[in-house]
C-alpha cells in the first residue's frame, strides 16, 4: 500500500474553488518570510487539475458561459482575463471552431466585430477559454513560489474516499488504497452529483432508447459521440427520434444547444423536443430595456418602511414581485437585477438567525424562479417552436414504461397543475437527465461525504445541500469547506446560497485564503489578534464592502456622491494588486462611506491604503456641524491595525460637504491647489458671461470651423483614444496616464455613471481634430480626458468641446461642471490658466495623509526612501513612483 509524504495543506477537488483559494493564498505567502517551506497537495479524481467540470475538458471547447463576461467575472480578475484573451484569442477561437458545429459557426459570425475589437465584456464566451486561463494562472503562481523555495506542490489523480482525524492531522484514504496525512484539508469537491433518475446507471441503452443520466461523465464530448452513434443507427433504419430533456436549468439548455450544434442536421432524423420541468418555464434571455428601467419591486420596497423583518417576509415579498412581473409578462432577465437589489438591501437588516433561514430555505427558491440564460441558448428553443417541434411540460419525472407493441418507451410524470399522474402520448427515444444535484440526505451521495457525516466531522445544515461551518469556514478544526458545499451558511454577515456563481466563489476564496495564511504566518502576533477580536464586536456598525451589489446599494442610500466613488470606477482605475474596498460606518442617523484601494507593501506583510485617480475621500449622510468623529476613527484604527494597514492617502473631493468634518484632526489635511468649476444652474448666457473675452473669441472661431459630434461607434472611440495617446506622447506623460484601451471602453459601458465623448470634426477636411471625455453622476459632471490632433491646437477644439458639454449638461439639468486643476494639482501652470478662462469660481482641494502605524512606517522609510523626495506620501514609496497621479 502506497503512502504519500505528509503534507501541510491538501485540496480535495481541483476546480475553480480550489484554484482561486490557492492563487490568493500563494499571493499572500509571496510577501512573507517563512521559517520553512510549505508542502501543498492537490487531489482530483479526474486527470485534469485547476478547472473542474465546467471549465475543463469534461465540458469540451464549445460550451458557453450562462452569463455575459461582465456578470460572470468580477474585477480585477476580469481585466486580467481580458488582457490574456486579447493575447491568446487566435488559437482559442480556432480550437472553439474546430470542436463546434453549425451554432458555433453562427456565434463566431454574429460576434465577429466584438471579437475583432476585443470587446468581450457583453459576450457569453466559451467556458473553456476561462479554464485555460485559470489553469495557466495557477501554474504560474505555483512556479513562482517554487522558484523562491517557499512551497512544494504535488498533484495526485485519485478519488479521496475517506478522511480520519488522528492527533491533529487528517489521514486521507485514496481510491488506490494509498494514504496521505495532512495538517489542513480544504474540501473543494464542487456541487453534489446529479440525481440519477432511472435505473441508477450512467447510461442505459436498449433497442429504441438511449437514456443519459450523467451527460458530463466522463465528458460531454463522449456523451455527444454516443448520441451521434445512436441517432445514426436509427436514421439508417429510417426511424425518427423524439428527445426528452428532463430539467430546465442551464445544463438542460446547454444539452439542447449542443444537440442542435452537432446533431441538428437532417441526417440525424431528429423529430420533436420536449422539456419536462416542475415549473414548466425555461430560463429567460431577452432584456426589455425600457420596461426593465420602469419595473419596481413594489412588495419588497414596501418592506423598507417596516421595522420588523424576517427571512420569510422578505421571501414572500420577493415571490409576490416575481408574480407581478409574470402578470405583466416581463421575464426574469428584465427583473432579476431590480428584485435581487431590493431583497439584498433588506437582508442587511436581518439578524444572524434570520439570515441563516434565508440562506437555507429561500435564496435558492427565489433563484430558481429568476433563471436567466444567453440568447444563443434560448434561440434554439425559439427556432424549434417556430417549426412546431418543441413542447415544455410542467411536471416531475416518475417512470418510463415499455410499450411492447412497438418496443418504444412512454413517459409517466406528475403533472404540476393537477397534481395527478399522467402518461405522455409521445414515444421517447433519446432522454437526457438534467435535473440537477441530489441533496445530502440521499443515500447515493459520494462515500467520502457519507463517511464525513457519519463521523460527525461535517454536519448538514438546513439547506440540505451544504455543511455548517464556523467563521473560519471549518466544519472541524483545520477541515475547511470551499465552493458549493458552503450553501446555507452566514459568512461575514452575508447569507450564502448558490456558491456555484464564480463571483461568489472568488469572494469566499479570498476569505479562506486569508484564514489559511493567518494560521501559517508566524509573524501574526497577539496584538493583531486582539485588535481583530475587538473589530469583530463592532461589525454591526462598521463593515467593509467589496461586492458590487452592496457597493451600489450603499451609494444609492447615501445619494450624494461623484463618479470617483463608484464600484466600476474603482475597479477600472485600480492597478494590479490594488483591491478596492468601501468602508461603511453607521452611527445613529449618520452614515459614512470611505472608498479606498488596499495594496501590499512589497516584500513585507504590511499594506497601505490609497485612493483612485480623481477626487475621492469620504461620502456621508446625516453628518452635521456637531458630528464627533471619535467613534468612527476608533473603528478605522482597529480595522487598519487588524489588517496591517499602516498609512492612508486620499485626494479629497472639494464638492462634497463635510469631508473635513469627518476627517477632523485625523492625520494631515494638506491644501494641494485649486480646481475650477462652473455653476450650471444659471442661464447659459449668464454662465458664458464668466468666460474671459479671449476664450469667447476662440470658441466662436472654433464653432465656425468645426462641428461637434457625440462619439457613438467603436471607430469614433478608437479615434479619440488615438488622439489621447498622441497627446500624451507630445507632453511626455508618465506611464500611468497611458490608460489601456479597455479602460476607455469600459468607462463608456458602465451603468454606474454616464460617460460622454465629444469629438470636434474639422469642417474643411472632415478630420476629427479633437476629442474630450466627460463623466457625470448625480448632479456633477467632470472633465476627464482630452486630446487634440497635432497641428490643430490653434483651432482650439478642446475649448469648443467643453463649451458644448456645458450646454448639454445644463440642458440635462446637471448643476456643477468640474474642470479640475493644473498638472499635479498645481494652480499656477498653463493647464490651470486654460481652465480658469472658463470660470472665476474655484475650490480648494485637499490631500489627506494619515500614518496609522508610525513605528512600521518609520522602519520602512529608513529602508526604502529616496531622500530627495521629502514631500512624497507615503515616503517609503518615493522610489517606486506610484503616486504619479497627484
Ligand X SMILES: Cc1cc2nc3c(=O)[nH]c(=O)nc-3n(C[C@H](O)[C@H](O)[C@H](O)COP(=O)(O)OP(=O)(O)OC[C@H]3O[C@@H](n4cnc5c(N)ncnc54)[C@H](O)[C@@H]3O)c2cc1C
Residues 233-262 that bind ligand X (CB under 6 A): 250-251
Candidates 9-17, 486-494, 510-518, 623-631; binding stretch for ligand X (CB under 6 A): 9-17
By beta-carbon proximity to ligand X, the closer residue of 74 and 395 is: 74
Smallest Cα–Cα separation from 80: which of 137, 14, 141, 21?
Answer: 137
Query: Is the bond leading into 874 cis (omega within 30 degrees of zero)?
Result: yes
Other Cβ atoms within 10 Å of 462 Cβ, number: 13
Q: Which three cell numbers stand for residue 542?
A: 462598521
Rounded Cα distance between 150 and 37, Å, is 5
Candidates 12-20, 272-280, 664-672, 804-812; binding stretch for ligand X (CB under 6 A): 12-20
If residue 731 lies in a helix (H) or strand (E), which one and from where to where?
none
By beta-carbon proximity to ligand X, the closer residue of 251 and 719 is: 251
Cβ–Cβ under 8 Å, residues 814 and 780: yes
- 448 makes contact with ligand X (CB under 6 A): yes
Residues 811-870 that bind ligand X (CB under 6 A): none
List the x/- string, 464-503, binding to ligand X by CB under 6 A.
Answer: -------------------xx---------------xxx-
By beta-carbon proximity to ligand X, the closer residue of 174 and 297 is: 174
Q: How many residues bind ligand X (CB under 6 A)?
A: 36
By beta-carbon proximity to ligand X, the closer residue of 202 and 722 is: 202
Cβ–Cβ under 8 Å, residues 598 and 578: yes
By beta-carbon proximity to ligand X, the closer residue of 11 and 390 is: 11
Tell me the three state secondary structure of residue 867: coil
- Cβ 265 to ligand X shortest distance, Å: 24
By beta-carbon proximity to ligand X, the closer residue of 160 and 746 is: 160
- 15 makes contact with ligand X (CB under 6 A): yes
- 43 makes contact with ligand X (CB under 6 A): yes
- 52 makes contact with ligand X (CB under 6 A): yes
Q: Enumerate residues 6+ apart whose C-beta is below 8 A from 102.
A: 260, 261, 264, 265
Give the single-character DSSP code of 358: I
Rounded Cα distance between 252 and 268, Å, is 20
- Cβ 374 to ligand X shortest distance, Å: 9
Based on its alpha-carbon atoms, the radius of gyration of the chain, rounded to whole angstroms, reads 30
By beta-carbon proximity to ligand X, the closer residue of 466 and 797 is: 466
By beta-carbon proximity to ligand X, the closer residue of 66 and 746 is: 66
- Cβ 367 to ligand X shortest distance, Å: 12
Q: Which position among 126, 190, 595, 673 is part of the footprint of ligand X (CB under 6 A)? A: 190
If residue 811 lies in a helix (H) or strand (E), which one and from where to where?
helix 797-811
Give the single-character DSSP code of 885: G
By beta-carbon proximity to ligand X, the closer residue of 43 and 210 is: 43
- Helix 741-749 and helix 77-99: axis angle, to 10°? 90
Other Cβ atoms within 10 Å of 681 Cβ, number: 13
By beta-carbon proximity to ligand X, the closer residue of 159 and 600 is: 159
Cβ–Cβ under 8 Å, residues 849 and 667: yes
Measuring CA to CA, how many Å separate 306 from each of 278, 348, 362, 881?
34, 14, 20, 52
- 189 makes contact with ligand X (CB under 6 A): yes
Cβ–Cβ under 8 Å, residues 480 and 473: yes
- Cβ 187 to ligand X shortest distance, Å: 9
Cβ–Cβ under 8 Å, residues 278 and 395: yes
Residues 613-672 that bind ligand X (CB under 6 A): none
- 12 makes contact with ligand X (CB under 6 A): yes
Rounded Cα distance between 76 and 553, Å, is 20
Tell me the three state secondary structure of residue 716: helix
Candidates 6-14, 276-284, 358-366, 848-856; binding stretch for ligand X (CB under 6 A): 6-14
Q: Which position among 9, 53, 366, 708 is part of the footprint of ligand X (CB under 6 A)? A: 53
- Cβ 41 to ligand X shortest distance, Å: 11
- 46 makes contact with ligand X (CB under 6 A): yes
Q: Which three cell numbers stand for residue 126?
A: 466559451
Residues 202-221 that bind ligand X (CB under 6 A): 216
Q: Which position among 77, 159, 562, 804 is part of the footprint of ligand X (CB under 6 A)? A: 159
- 692 makes contact with ligand X (CB under 6 A): no
Residues 706-765 that bind ligand X (CB under 6 A): none
Q: How many residues does the chain have?
A: 886
User: Could you give phi then psi for residue 467, rounded to 5 degrees?
Assistant: -100, 145
By beta-carbon proximity to ligand X, the closer residue of 130 and 792 is: 130
Rounded Cα distance between 44 and 555, Å, is 43
By beta-carbon proximity to ligand X, the closer residue of 374 and 771 is: 374
Place of cell 485625523: 666
Rounded Cα distance between 793 and 258, Å, is 56
- Cβ 256 to ligand X shortest distance, Å: 13
- 188 makes contact with ligand X (CB under 6 A): yes
Q: Enumerate residues 6+ apart whose C-beta is below 8 A from 695.
A: 799, 837, 838
Rounded Cα distance between 629 and 643, Å, is 21
- Cβ 460 to ligand X shortest distance, Å: 17
Q: Which three cell numbers stand for residue 472?
A: 473560519
By beta-carbon proximity to ligand X, the closer residue of 73 and 347 is: 73
Q: Which position among 138, 160, 746, 875 is part of the footprint of ligand X (CB under 6 A)? A: 160
By beta-carbon proximity to ligand X, the closer residue of 484 and 595 is: 484
Residues 58-117 that bind ligand X (CB under 6 A): 59, 65-67, 72
Rounded Cα distance between 727 and 772, Å, is 12
Q: Which position among 7, 41, 191, 650 is part of the footprint of ligand X (CB under 6 A)? A: 191
List the x/- string, 263-302, binding to ligand X by CB under 6 A.
Answer: ----------------------------------------
Candidates 184-192, 613-621, 796-804, 857-865; binding stretch for ligand X (CB under 6 A): 184-192
Query: Is the bond leading into 244 cis (omega within 30 degrees of zero)?
Result: no
Q: Which three cell numbers stand for residue 435?
A: 435535473
Rounded Cα distance between 130 and 135, Å, is 8
- Cβ 136 to ligand X shortest distance, Å: 17
By beta-carbon proximity to ligand X, the closer residue of 135 and 827 is: 135
Cβ–Cβ under 8 Å, residues 797 and 747: no
- 436 makes contact with ligand X (CB under 6 A): no
Q: Which position among 25, 41, 54, 260 is part of the footprint of ligand X (CB under 6 A)? A: 54
List the x/- string, 298-337, binding to ligand X by CB under 6 A.
Answer: ----------------------------------------
By beta-carbon proximity to ligand X, the closer residue of 65 and 276 is: 65
Tell me the three state secondary structure of residue 536: helix
Cα distance from N-terminal residue to C-terminal residue, the chain:
64
- Cβ 698 to ligand X shortest distance, Å: 53
By beta-carbon proximity to ligand X, the closer residue of 171 and 235 is: 171
Q: Which three cell numbers stand for residue 170?
A: 487528517
- Cβ 191 to ligand X shortest distance, Å: 5
- 13 makes contact with ligand X (CB under 6 A): yes
Candidates 50-58, 464-472, 632-640, 791-799; binding stretch for ligand X (CB under 6 A): 50-58
Interior/surface letters 169-196, b for 16+ CB within 10 angstroms, e for the rest: bbbbbbeeeeebbbbbbbbbbbbbbbbb
- Cβ 188 to ligand X shortest distance, Å: 5
Rounded Cα distance between 790 and 785, Å, is 16
Which residues in this chain contact ligand X in the complex, by CB under 6 A? 12-18, 43-46, 52-54, 59, 65-67, 72, 127, 159-160, 188-191, 216, 250-251, 446, 448, 483-484, 500-502
Amino acid at each position: 500500500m502506497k503512502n504519500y509524504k505528509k503534507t501541510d495543506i491538501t485540496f480535495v477537488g481541483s476546480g475553480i474553488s480550489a484554484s482561486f483559494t490557492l492563487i490568493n493564498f500563494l499571493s499572500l505567502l509571496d510577501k512573507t518570510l517563512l521559517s520553512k517551506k510549505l508542502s501543498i497537495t492537490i487531489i482530483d479524481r479526474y486527470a485534469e487539475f485547476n478547472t473542474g467540470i465546467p471549465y475543463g475538458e469534461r465540458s469540451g471547447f464549445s460550451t458557453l458561459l450562462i452569463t455575459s463576461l461582465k456578470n460572470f467575472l468580477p474585477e480585477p480578475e476580469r481585466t486580467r482575463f481580458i488582457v490574456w484573451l486579447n493575447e491568446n484569442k487566435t488559437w482559442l477561437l480556432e480550437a472553439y471552431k474546430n470542436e463546434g458545429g453549425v451554432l458555433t459557426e453562427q456565434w463566431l459570425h454574429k460576434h465577429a466585430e466584438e471579437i475583432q475589437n476585443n470587446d468581450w465584456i457583453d459576450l457569453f464566451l466559451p467556458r473553456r477559454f476561462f479554464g485555460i486561463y485559470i489553469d495557466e494562472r495557477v501554474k504560474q503562481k505555483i512556479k513562482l513560489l517554487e522558484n523562491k523555495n517557499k512551497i512544494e506542490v504535488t498533484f495526485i489523480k485519485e478519488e479521496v474516499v475517506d478522511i480520519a482525524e488522528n492527533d491533529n492531522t487528517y489521514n486521507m484514504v485514496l481510491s488506490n488504497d494509498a494514504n496521505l496525512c495532512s495538517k489542513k484539508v480544504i474540501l473543494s469537491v464542487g456541487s453534489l452529483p446529479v440525481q440519477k433518475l432511472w435505473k441508477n446507471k450512467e447510461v442505459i441503452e436498449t433497442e429504441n432508447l438511449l437514456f443519459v443520466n450523467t451527460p458530463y461523465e466522463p465528458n460531454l464530448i463522449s456523451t455527444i459521440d454516443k448520441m451521434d452513434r445512436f441517432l445514426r443507427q436509427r436514421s439508417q433504419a429510417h426511424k425518427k427520434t423524439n428527445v426528452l430533456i428532463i430539467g430546465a436549468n442551464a445544463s438542460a439548455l446547454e444539452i439542447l444547444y449542443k444537440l442542435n450544434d452537432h446533431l441538428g442536421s437532417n441526417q440525424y432524423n431528429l423529430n420533436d423536443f420536449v422539456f419536462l420541468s416542475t415549473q414548466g418555464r425555461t430560463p429567460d434571455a431577452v432584456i426589455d430595456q425600457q420596461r426593465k428601467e420602469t419595473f419596481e419591486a413594489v412588495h419588497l420596497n414596501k418592506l423598507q418602511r417596516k421595522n420588523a423583518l424576517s427571512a420569510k417576509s422578505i421571501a414572500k415579498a420577493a415571490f409576490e414581485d416575481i408574480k407581478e412581473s409574470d402578470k405583466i409578462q416581463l421575464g426574469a432577465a428584465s427583473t432579476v437585477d431590480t428584485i435581487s437589489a431590493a431583497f439584498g438591501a433588506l437582508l442587511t437588516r436581518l439578524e444572524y438567525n434570520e439570515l441563516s433561514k434565508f440562506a437555507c430555505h429561500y435564496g435558492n427558491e427565489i433563484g430558481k424562479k429568476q433563471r436567466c440564460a444567453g440568447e444563443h441558448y434560448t434561440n434554439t428553443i425559439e427556432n424549434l417552436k417556430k417549426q412546431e417541434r418543441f413542447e415544455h411540460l410542467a411536471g416531475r419525472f416518475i417512470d418510463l414504461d415499455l410499450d411492447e407493441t412497438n418496443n418504444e418507451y412512454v413517459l409517466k410524470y406528475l403533472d404540476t397543475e393537477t397534481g395527478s399522474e399522467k402518461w405522455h402520448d409521445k414515444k421517447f427515444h433519446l432522454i437526457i437527465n438534467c435535473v440537477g444535484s441530489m441533496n445530502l440526505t440521499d443515500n447515493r451521495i459520494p462515500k467520502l461525504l457519507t463517511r464525513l457525516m457519519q463521523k460527525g466531522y461535517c454536519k448538514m445544515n438546513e439547506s440540505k445541500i451544504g455543511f455548517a461551518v464556523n467563521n473560519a469556514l471549518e466544519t472541524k478544526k483545520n477541515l475547511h469547506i470551499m465552493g458549493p458545499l458552503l450553501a446555507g451558511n452566514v459568512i461575514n454577515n452575508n447569507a450564502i446560497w448558490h456558491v456555484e456563481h464564480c463571483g461568489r466563489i472568488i469572494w469566499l476564496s479570498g476569505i479562506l485564503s486569508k484564514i489559511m495564511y493567518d494560521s501559517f504566518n508566524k509573524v501574526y502576533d497577539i496584538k493583531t489578534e486582539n485588535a481583530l477580536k475587538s473589530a469583530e464586536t463592532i461589525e454591526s456598525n462598521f463593515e467593509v464592502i467589496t461586492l458590487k451589489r452592496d457597493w451600489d446599494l450603499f451609494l444609492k442610500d447615501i445619494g450624494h456622491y461623484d463618479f470617483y466613488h463608484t464600484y466600476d470606477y474603482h475597479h477600472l482605475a485600480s492597478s494590479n494588486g490594488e483591491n478596492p474596498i468601501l468602508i461603511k460606518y453607521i452611527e445613529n442617523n449618520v452614515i459614512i462611506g470611505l472608498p479606498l484601494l488596499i495594496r501590499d507593501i512589497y516584500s513585507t506583510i504590511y499594506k497601505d491604503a490609497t485612493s483612485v485617480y480623481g477626487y475621492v475621500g469620504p461620502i456621508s449622510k446625516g453628518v452635521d456641524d456637531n458630528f464627533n468623529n471619535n467613534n468612527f476613527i476608533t473603528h478605522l484604527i482597529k480595522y487598519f491595525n487588524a489588517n496591517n494597514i499602516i498609512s492612508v492617502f486620499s485626494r479629497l473631493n472639494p464638492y462634497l460637504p463635510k469631508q473635513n468634518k469627518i476627517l477632523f484632526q485625523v492625520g494631515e489635511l494638506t491644501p494641494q491647489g485649486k480646481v475650477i468649476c462652473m455653476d450650471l444652474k444659471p442661464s447659459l448666457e449668464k454662465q458664458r458671461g464668466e468666460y474671459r473675452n479671449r476664450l469667447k473669441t476662440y470658441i466662436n472661431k472654433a464653432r465656425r470651423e468645426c462641428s461637434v459630434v457625440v462619439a457613438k461607434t467603436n471607430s469614433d472611440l478608437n479615434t479619440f483614444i488615438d488622439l489621447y495617446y498622441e497627446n500624451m506622447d507630445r507632453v511626455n506623460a508618465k506611464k500611468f496616464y497611458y490608460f489601456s484601451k479597455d479602460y476607455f471602453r469600459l468607462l463608456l459601458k458602465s451603468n454606474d455613471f454616464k460617460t460622454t465623448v465629444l469629438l470636434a470634426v474639422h469642417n474643411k477636411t472632415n478630420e476629427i481634430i479633437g476629442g474630450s471625455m466627460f463623466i457625470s453622476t448625480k448632479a456633477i459632471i467632470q472633465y476627464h480626458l482630452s486630446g487634440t490632433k497635432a497641428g490643430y491646437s490653434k483651432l482650439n477644439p478642446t475649448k469648443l468641446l467643453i463649451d458644448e458639454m456645458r450646454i448639454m449638461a445644463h440642458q440635462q439639468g446637471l448643476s456643477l461642471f468640474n474642470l479640475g486643476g493644473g498638472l499635479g494639482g498645481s494652480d499656477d501652470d498653463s493647464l490651470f490658466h486654460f481652465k480658469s478662462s472658463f470660470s472665476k469660481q474655484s475650490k480648494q482641494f485637499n490631500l489627506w495623509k494619515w500614518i496609522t502605524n508610525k513605528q512600521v512606517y518609520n522602519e520602512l522609510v529608513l529602508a526604502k526612501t529616496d531622500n530627495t523626495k521629502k514631500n512624497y506620501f507615503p515616503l517609503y514609496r518615493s522610489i517606486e513612483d506610484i503616486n504619479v497621479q497627484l
